[in-house]
Amino acid sequence: MHATRNTCTHSVSELQLKVVYTALIKVKDQWFNLGLQLDINPHDLRGIEANYNNDTERLREMINLRLNQGSGMTWENIAAALENPTISQRALAREIRKTYIHVLKESTNYCATARG
């Protein structure tokens, strides 16, 4: 049984997978380090590396795996991971914060208003 998700959280949901993938395709060649920064077990990442033929597929599977770990991946987690020196994608992190986190804050304000 799947846990019910609050639609007013900052977590990235399975429904947003395509959006996450589109945002991160620019760093597909750094999928392994990004996975490490998102707290994915290195053993799991090596399994992805062995089972998929190219970085595009590996990135997609890494994102799927992270979303299915259940602890909630957030846009801020993604932005922070991108800023890590091993990835060093500060411009993309800023873009994600500007585009996605700003929108989520607005939706959170909406949700708080709707609940109140």
Compute the 3-state secondary structure of the chain and give helix, strand, coil in percent, each to the nearest 5. Answer: 70, 0, 25
Q: Which domain holds residue 49?
A: 14-115
Statement: residue 1 has pLDDT above 50:
no
Residue-level pLDDT at 52:
97
Domain tally for the chain?
1
Residue 4 within any structural domain of the chain: no
Statement: residue 10 has pLDDT above 80:
no
Residue 23: which CATH number?
Answer: 1.10.533
pLDDT tens-digit map of 24-58: 888 999 999 999 999 999 999 999 999 999 999 99
Residue-level pLDDT at 80:
92
Listed in sequence order, the residues at least 6 apart from 9 whose beta carbon sits closer than 8 Å to its beta carbon are 72
User: What pairs with residue 74 in β-bridges?
Assistant: 11
For residue 30, give both structure tokens.
Answer: 């750094």
Tallying the residues shown for the chain, one arrives at 116
Residue 1 within any structural domain of the chain: no
How many Å apart are CA 57 and CA 52, to the nearest integer? 6
Residue 66 within any structural domain of the chain: yes
Mean pLDDT score across all residues of the chain: 78
Residue-level pLDDT at 4:
38
Residue 7 within any structural domain of the chain: no
User: What pairs with residue 11 in β-bridges?
Assistant: 74
Statement: residue 116 has pLDDT above 60:
no
